[in-house]
Amino acid sequence: MAKLKLRGRELKKVGYPPGEIRGLAMQIMHQHFKHHSKEEALEVLESVLDNPDEFIEDEFLSPIAELLVEEPESIPLKEIKLKAVPTAFKIFGAQHIAENAITQMEQAMSLPVSKAGALMPDAHHGYGLPIGGVLATNNSIIPYGVGMDIGCRMCLSVYPIESNILRKGHSFLKTILKDNTRFGPKQVFDDPDDDHEILERKEFQEIPFLRNMKSKALYQLGSSGGGNHFVEYGEMELLKDNEFELPAGKYLSLLSHSGSRGMGAMIAQHFTQIAMEVCLLPKSLKNLAWLDLDSEAGMEYWLAMNLAGDYASACHHDIHKRLDKALGEKSAFMVENHHNFAWKETLPDGTEGIVHRKGSTPAGKGVLGIIPGSMTAPGFLVKGKGEASSLNSASHGAGRQMSRTKAKNSLTKSYVQKFLKEKGVSLLGGGLDEAPMAYKDIEKVMECQKALVEVLGIFRPKIVRMANP
């Protein structure tokens, strides 16, 4: 096999900014991924770009992830004074959370703009705010408190079809899932919907940075990222009669997980750099730099973030629409939720705050959401209970217990394939870094958040589609 040869223009197309980062990325890929195909290498790089938090401990890719959120050269400013004592916050499932994630949350609570916070039971170490961290601030937005994959979300369609089709029509479902999904930087559709209303949003014209983003948004519309993103068929067991159009029972369901693709990552990086230039924090807290919402940059980020969130939703709807058409069936109902986003909300003390949920699910009273497990563990359709101490939040999944590097170095393909077969799960694509063993026990995570959500249904994955390793 010929050795890998990447060029700067190919990294530019994926979304990598000019400068040192492109050279470093090419160097690492040529050295450690030289036997990968060009498409595979670009998919890996896009996964790092979308979610650098997921590669913070990766043996080879961590330098790229670190540089993506590195502090820029800037004019020295007066260092911001932190609180002498961090504001207290509630931890759910502390026994399942590593100390470094708790330390990160304590650091976030020492910011002068921090008002309240909480840590979810799936939490683990990230950049700036830990994944699974919830932070409320005073009239300020932290781009990296939202994360690189802005608006990353879950979307669930439940069909009025009994779940035994997963067995009887297994081959058919595998085929349409493979034919109607795309993952990574180059796997896009030839016929994106160029009339989609998301492309007509005024932000593409009114915000200078977004003017060149429209073509990328069109190009990637309806596709999914790499890493832990997926589209899967499974069985949804509705546990009792509810507000949906289906009675209690077991039904064919489609679940997808992805975000705002390259556009979201570039928005996050651009505004994080601006925040770091105007908000000089100690080096250990640099990724918590914020923008005042009364500033031009702060408002531009807020508008761009909301556009990226709506774009992520549009991508999911396109995925589900294509698969509905191939299946020849419409869903009875759909549920979706962001888990990398920020909202203006009323806090427990009655004041308004900007609530950042980086890898956590909105769980206000009566709010529906989806909390996935892993490719073999169940996910849960939930209704929020509006618990004030969690800032109306819950976990966004099981959470990683094993780094990507550790998973790749300690697991074998044959072992994982055997495990999948035992669990009755078919996997299309996916790598060892996303093996079920790399994740915490979702049942234990759910046990720690009984006060946060009510479980309405259980989703059991059966046919899972992910990016090729």
- Is the confidence at residue 72, as pLDDT, over 60? no
- Is the confidence at residue 70, as pLDDT, over 80? no
Going by pLDDT thresholds of 50, 70 and 90, the confidence category of residue 357 is very high
The span from the CA of 416 to the CA of 469, in Å, is 14
Going by pLDDT thresholds of 50, 70 and 90, the confidence category of residue 76 is very low
Average pLDDT, rounded, for the chain:
92
The span from the CA of 335 to the CA of 86, in Å, is 36
Going by pLDDT thresholds of 50, 70 and 90, the confidence category of residue 75 is very low
Q: What is the mean pLDDT of residues 193-221?
A: 92
Domains of the chain, CATH where assigned: 8-68 (no CATH), 153-261+304-344+355-465 (3.90.1860.10)
- Is the confidence at residue 69, as pLDDT, over 80? no
List Cα–Cα distances, 43 to 14, 397, 400, in angstroms: 9, 23, 21
Residues 6+ apart with CB under 8 A from 288: 107, 108, 111, 128, 129, 142, 144, 145, 281
DSSP state of 3: P
Strands (E), 58-130: 90-91, 114-124
Q: Give the percent of the chain with pLDDT over 70.
A: 97
Q: What is the pLDDT of residues 393-435, one digit of tens each?
A: 999 999 998 888 889 889 999 999 999 999 999 999 999 999 9
- Is the confidence at residue 23, as pLDDT, over 80? yes
**pLDDT at position 2, please?**
64
**pLDDT at position 456, please?**
96
Q: What is the pLDDT of residues 116-132, one digit of tens each?
A: 999 999 999 988 899 99
- Is the confidence at residue 92, as pLDDT, over 50? yes
**pLDDT at position 128, please?**
84
pTM over 0.95: no
**pLDDT at position 74, please?**
46
